[in-house]
Amino acid sequence: MAQHDYVIANQSGSAFRADLNNALSATVTGNSGSSAPSTTYAYMIWNDTTSNQRKIRNSANNAWIVLSTLSGGNVFDDDVTFNGASYNLVWDKSDNALEFADNAKCTFGAGPDLSIFHDADSSYIEHTTSGTDLIIDAKSPGDDLILRAADDVEIRVQGNEDAIKCKGDGAVELYYDGSKKIETITSGVRISSGDLELLDNTGSTGRLLLGNGADLQLYHTGSASYIKDAGTGDFNIISNTIQFSNAANDEFLARFVENGAVELYYDGSKKIETFGSGATLTGQLYVNFDASQVSGANFKNANNTGTVIYFSRADGTVTGSISQPTTTSTSFNTSSDYRLKENEVAISDGITRLKTLKPYKFNFKVDPDTTVDGFFAHEVTPAVPEAITGEKDAPIDEKGEGYQQIDYGKLVPLLTAALQEAIAKIETLETKVATLEAK
């Protein structure tokens, strides 16, 4: 190691030679020493043995610039520029950054397989080796992989098609074949297009679960479909109109319409419909009743082995019933208990009132081939008004209601009274005849 001021003074031959040798030694060893040379020059080299660094004097000769370590590593203590054919790479000391110009690439691999660059418009991490993967791996347990952008983050696949978009407002969009399928919105999640498919239920998978305790479940087992309410509250379906249809031919099975009506169908034809004042039945009503399978006073009593239908007022008082006393008979019953009645008056003028009735043979217009015996309701009204429902010539509504009806059963008391009056007259005549014959 040697240092010299590189000034050769006038001196004797041997002293001159020694001074020159010292200067050459300092040059050969790069002015190596534990401290800087006492005399310095611009662009002078100094091997600093204390810091193990090779240094060069700057052009102003007022500071040292580190070039490398003495063990072979390069150390740059200022900006360093690498010039390329068209672009350059700069280590900017003041920015503490390695700066690549537009289109200057940082490449990895022999291919190069991986490139990182900016093209004056966008930034790229480009993986070009076919059949291999680009892996971004945060390996340490608990470490997160964070992609952050001032606006959108997009993941695209082959053909530059969208796969995932993380929007600047926080929304996430999922795509398939370039078409958006699912997106998050302010109120939750929306399926933008297509279907939501769940595999067959195997006991623990393939279910759509709603509620903290999976209270509502929707699933298919491979052979049957289920909507299962496993919670403790009500199962409510709310809509203006609810329809159940046959999947094979899209025929209605049942409909629950906006105003509260219920419609039941068979083979696409409506059979039962509820409306404001009750319900309508299209077709026939069959009641198959097995009294042995039913219990309770409302269905069985000492006189009615099996009551099928009860009729009652709004207060619950039963006014009549249709019953099946035996397996081969049906009874139509009207309440007649004395405890339900008051202000009773015997029927009089039975024969007189009966004589006002006009029996006819006739057919109904809808069935011209069938002749029946009966009365006209408006002609019965003066004699037995309680047997008639409706008024003569009343308007007919869209359901065909408004026509007068007659309850023939309510003619029985009048017929009985008239018959009793006739029997009494016959008995009187028989007594008179017997008296005359006795004389």
In degrees, rounded to 5, the angle at the alpha carbon of residue 118 between the alpha carbons of residues 112 and 121 is 140
What integer pLDDT is reported at residue 394 of this predicted model?
Answer: 92
What integer pLDDT is reported at residue 294 of this predicted model?
Answer: 47
What integer pLDDT is reported at residue 353 of this predicted model?
Answer: 93
Angstrom distance (rounded) from CA 179 to CA 163: 9
Cβ within 8 Å of residue 416, ≥6 positions away? 347, 350
Angstrom distance (rounded) from CA 25 to CA 222: 93
- CA-closest candidate to residue 399, choices 266, 257, 278: 278
Is the predicted pLDDT of residue 304 greater than 70, yes or no? Answer: no
If one compares 356 and 304, the residue with the highest pLDDT of the two is: 356
- CA-closest candidate to residue 212, choices 233, 240, 190: 233
Place of tokens 């008979």: 329
Confidence label for 300 from pLDDT (cuts 50, 70 and 90): very low
Considering the chain, what is the average pLDDT of its residues? Answer: 86
Place of tokens 């068209």: 86
- Say if CB 180 and CB 192 are below 8 A apart: yes
Q: Flag the least confident range among 47-56, 223-232, 318-327.
A: 318-327
Angstrom distance (rounded) from CA 264 to CA 273: 7
What integer pLDDT is reported at residue 299 of this predicted model?
Answer: 45
Cβ within 8 Å of residue 272, ≥6 positions away? 262, 263, 264, 279, 280, 281, 282
Confidence label for 75 from pLDDT (cuts 50, 70 and 90): low
One DSSP character per residue, 363-399 reads --TT-TT--EEE--HHHHTTT-GGGEES-TTPPP-TT
Q: Flag the least confident range among 34-43, 204-213, 220-229, 403-412.
A: 204-213
409: which DSSP letter?
Answer: G
In degrees, rounded to 5, the angle at the alpha carbon of residue 357 between the alpha carbons of residues 356 and 362 is 145
Confidence label for 302 from pLDDT (cuts 50, 70 and 90): very low
In the chain, what percentage of residues exceed pLDDT 70?
Answer: 92
If one compares 340 and 385, the residue with the highest pLDDT of the two is: 385
What are phi and psi for residue 3, nearest 5 degrees?
-135, 155
pLDDT in tens, 242-255: 999 998 888 999 99
pLDDT in tens, 367-399: 999 999 999 999 999 999 999 999 999 999 877
If one compares 265 and 335, the residue with the highest pLDDT of the two is: 265
Q: At residue 80, what is the residue type? A: V
- Is the bond preceding 395 in cis, omega lying within 30 degrees of 0? no
What integer pLDDT is reported at residue 379 of this predicted model?
Answer: 95
What integer pLDDT is reported at residue 439 of this predicted model?
Answer: 78
pLDDT in tens, 1-45: 688 888 898 999 899 999 899 888 988 888 999 999 999 999 999
The helix or strand, by DSSP H or E, that contains position 25, with its residue range, turns out to be helix 13-28
pLDDT in tens, 305-322: 566 688 888 787 888 888
CA distances in angstroms from 404 to 72, 274, 332, 383, 414, listed in the order given: 119, 22, 21, 15, 20
Q: At residue 307, what is the residue type? A: T
Q: Flag the least confident range among 41-50, 71-80, 183-192, 222-231.
A: 71-80
What integer pLDDT is reported at residue 371 of this predicted model?
Answer: 95
- CA-closest candidate to residue 36, choices 51, 18, 17: 51
- Averaged pLDDT for residues 201-208: 81
C-alpha neighbours within 13 Å on the C-beta side of residue 323: 20
Q: pTM (2 decimals)?
A: 0.52
Q: Flag the least confident range among 83-97, 279-293, 417-431.
A: 279-293
What integer pLDDT is reported at residue 306 of this predicted model?
Answer: 62
Angstrom distance (rounded) from CA 82 to CA 104: 11
Angstrom distance (rounded) from CA 25 to CA 32: 10
Place of tokens 């892996």: 135
What integer pLDDT is reported at residue 249 of this predicted model?
Answer: 85
Is the predicted pLDDT of residue 296 greater than 70, yes or no? Answer: no
Q: At residue 386, what is the residue type? A: E
pLDDT in tens, 84-95: 766 678 888 889
Is the predicted pLDDT of residue 289 greater than 60, yes or no? Answer: no
Q: Flag the least confident range among 126-130, 139-143, 258-262, 325-329.
A: 325-329
- Using CA of residue 70, residue 72, residue 77, residue 79, what is the dihedral sign? positive
The helix or strand, by DSSP H or E, that contains position 24, with its residue range, turns out to be helix 13-28
Domain ranges of the chain: 13-69, 242-340, 350-433
- Averaged pLDDT for residues 230-234: 86
What integer pLDDT is reported at residue 102 of this predicted model?
Answer: 87
List the end-to-end C-alpha distance of the chain, in Å, as a whole number: 186
Confidence label for 79 from pLDDT (cuts 50, 70 and 90): confident
Rg (CA), the chain: 55
